[in-house]
Structure 1
Amino acid sequence: MKPGVDYLKLNDDQLKQLQEEMLPLLIEIDRICRKHNITYFLSDGTLLGAVRHKGFIPWDDDMDVQMLRKDYDRFIEVCETELDTSKFFLQHQQNDEHYNWVYGKLRVKNTTYVRAGQEHIKQKTGICIDIFPLDPISENKYKQRIALYMCNLCRKILWAQVGKKAANTAAGRALFRVLSLIPRKLTILVFELFAKSEYKKNTAFLANHNLVRKILKSEWYSETITVEFEGHNFSAPKRYDDILSSLYGKYLEPPDVNNRHGNAYASQIKFTNGIELKL
């Protein structure tokens, strides 16, 4: 869904440059995970790009990986000493008090990437790749609904700092102004309470509580394979067909021309070569 604010429309050369800036982030994740035996998966549009295009979807402007929660926690830990901090920094809710999301972003240093509508947010910025934890979720439908509802509610509260300025209606902005008064730390605590409620259990299902997605089957992520992406080899779920079919339906068929656009709407981008794009 497009935001209710204006955003940059990248031409083909600008989009290609953005993709070239993001690829080293994935290479760094792969390097660290291989060294420390951490499992990760290409996900969402990045996984689709690997399968359908052997690289970026031509119009894609973001990258995503997933990790099972235990691997995600381990990745955060080893990055304290392993990450190449001359080029990158890992951002998460514990190390940036103004970062209101509950998943990690690996960012390129000395770059800027500001999402449209988030210009007033004080979080650190930079061209990035999203790192989403996958959490075990109960096999009980009632418990599933509660966990999904509470995590979504907490995400709405955390987004309120954006929504109070960027929501499409006056009523929406007023509602988010009220929600923005709820303490950040409390909201994150509640989110993690429900997201991690089945942390130590081997359930049949997984959830990415940071996206509105279908429940995923744990067996889809039980094995990995190597896939090609922009001339490099990365890790993907062996059952990628089940995952992509669940998310996109007939995923090998490109969408019609009107639906070929990215989703990471930005109002400001600065590349490592100093070139800056602004509204």
Structure 2
Amino acid sequence: MSLELFDLRGRRALVTGSSQGIGFALAHGLADAGAEVILNGRDEEKLADAAGRIAGARQLPFDATDHQAVRAAVDRFETEVGAIDILVNNAGMQHRTPLEEFPADAFEKLLRTNVSTVFNVGQAVARHMIKRGAGKIINIASVQTALARPGIAPYTATKGAVGNLTKGMATDWAKYGLQCNAIAPGYFDTPLNAALVADPAFSAWLEKRTPAGRWGKVDELVGACIFLASDASSFVNGHVLYVDGGITASL
């Protein structure tokens, strides 16, 4: 009986930014738990390649920073295919520069990619979930939702915003039967972190700073995602779940 709480068969999940990295790993994990997954990205070639590696995966290409394009794509999918029961807002980017030298255009791009996408896709999907009285929204935050490091202050600001936007979604939409939560990954070996993974000094620092003593593996985020996407989390709302090897728990 307990395991049935985590069964996602008969549900459909949209994962933004899912052609690689964390997004792809989460989509694959949701599919393994029984969900029909919908992959999203802007690069249709990469998206098609990713979809070919997950049985039954659908593709829904759109630019998550474009509010009108998102609304049109989601509305069309809901009308022509069916309900989106689970949304994982994963699209994001990083830009590393000392704050005093940080380009204004890069700051604006971070805001659009890391924050506006969560609003755009979250609102478009929630409009349909609200009508049905049920839905799961999982936003991908970061260890930088709670902590900061030199050279990434704007990124830290965007991920802090994701954490608080998640709380706002829960506050507004829980009464309609939606559960809106976030996963905050620590340091994971992903394409976004490729430069850090390749830096022996940084990896040595990370291993000492993290109680688990290592980089995270993207598959280690899947369990948290399945939990938040399933009936097992029916009374969890507005929560930011840190999956970080203990880094936010220690000095």
Tell me the TM-score normalized by structure 2.
0.34
More strand by share: 1
Q: TM-score, normalised by structure 1?
A: 0.32
